[in-house]
Amino acid sequence: MQAVGVAEALGLSPEIKRVTPPAPHRWMAPWGPAAANESVAPPWPDIVIASGRQSIPYARKIKKASGGKTFVTILQNPKVSPSQFDLVWAPEHDQLTGPNVMSTLTAPNRITPETLVNAARELSERYASLPENKIAVVLGGPNKVYEFSSEDMRALARSLKALADREKIGLMVTTSRRTSAEATAVLRAELRAVPHDIYDALTDAPEDNPYPGLLGLADAVIVTCDSHNMVGEATVTGKPVYVVELEGGSAKFRRFLDALYVNNVARQFDGLLETWSYAPLNATQEIAAAIAAAFSRKPKSD
């Protein structure tokens, strides 16, 4: 949750409100008025961090109802004028500009260096049977712009198997809710002869999810390109990040991936392993710092 991650980076314990307005308000968001919602009521907070199209009318309502006293930050492109809010963050690939707009290459998240260390410690027993050198493999699935068929999975799994054989490494794999059961079955069959562990997001218990612990334990991360968040979270580690490019894509994804490559943060996965270093990306801290600075400059009323 991006908003929660930013709030935590500010040292706050946020009060979380999820809004699901009925029709026709949900159709009119983010441009229309906010539907009645008993949970969105005074006393108005000092800071609101909103994310998602449906949250925009409520953020605008709070800004107005508080007489401008509430500092309102929007995460992601609000699709309305940023001038309606105090601060707007959008990823660089959105190419959103404005005097109160800030952008970072990756998105905010809840992963911190401390999270990685602690989660890795908790998961060390789970992966104790794997070789000392381990690679995290983070897999997504098809979406509106990318394809990821069972045959695509077979080709990737064979590359992973060859890598594990050649480098004598263990594979710590996690799938996502978008990874099909058929594709996961193909993955299991192809990797059966090499040291591996697979967390299946469709069948395994959510509380057993090893992510982000496997990011903390891994020597490098291999991640499919279909999720801006998954790729971005891998770069928090400061470890080599290999991106598996899938069929499809969009101009926004292309700008995002190319920026990672140009800045030597990530490289396209070609079945080989290399070692390089970069400063870990931490958009969450950058955004939190920008909010704190802007909030401190905001005139205080009695």
Locate the domains of the chain by residue range: 2-105+285-297, 113-268
CATH architecture of 113-268: 3-Layer(aba) Sandwich (3.40)
Q: Helix, strand, or coil here: 268?
A: strand
Q: What percent of the chain is predicted at pLDDT more than 70?
A: 99
CB 285 within 8 A of CB 9: yes
CB atoms within 10 A of CB 132: 8
Q: Which of 192, 194, 235, 243 is nearest to 212 (CA)?
A: 235
d(CA 40, CA 25): 15
Amino acid 301: pLDDT? 61
Q: Is the pLDDT at 250 greater than 80, yes or no? A: yes
d(CA 170, CA 236): 21
Amino acid 1: pLDDT? 79
Amino acid 299: pLDDT? 79
- Give residue 235's identity as a one-letter amino acid code: T
Q: Is the pLDDT at 51 greater than 90, yes or no? A: yes
Q: Is the pLDDT at 12 greater than 60, yes or no? A: yes
pTM of the model: 0.93
CB 98 within 8 A of CB 88: yes
CB 146 within 8 A of CB 249: yes
Is residue 6 classed exposed, middle or buried when 0-12, 13-18 and 19+ CB atoms within 10 A define those classes? buried
Q: Is the pLDDT at 302 greater than 60, yes or no? A: no
Q: Helix, strand, or coil here: 49?
A: strand
Amino acid 45: pLDDT? 95
CB 241 within 8 A of CB 266: yes
Q: Is the pLDDT at 187 greater than 90, yes or no? A: yes
Which tokens sit at 116? 């990685």
d(CA 289, CA 84): 21
Name the band, by pLDDT with cuts 50, 70 and 90, for residue 7: very high
Q: Is the pLDDT at 300 greater than 80, yes or no? A: no
Is residue 42 classed exposed, middle or buried when 0-12, 13-18 and 19+ CB atoms within 10 A define those classes? exposed
Give the ranges where 139-202 is alpha helix by DSSP (H). Answer: 150-167, 181-191
Q: Helix, strand, or coil here: 12?
A: coil
| Structure confidence by residue, pLDDT tens digits, 68-98 | 999 999 999 999 999 999 999 999 999 999 9
d(CA 198, CA 238): 23
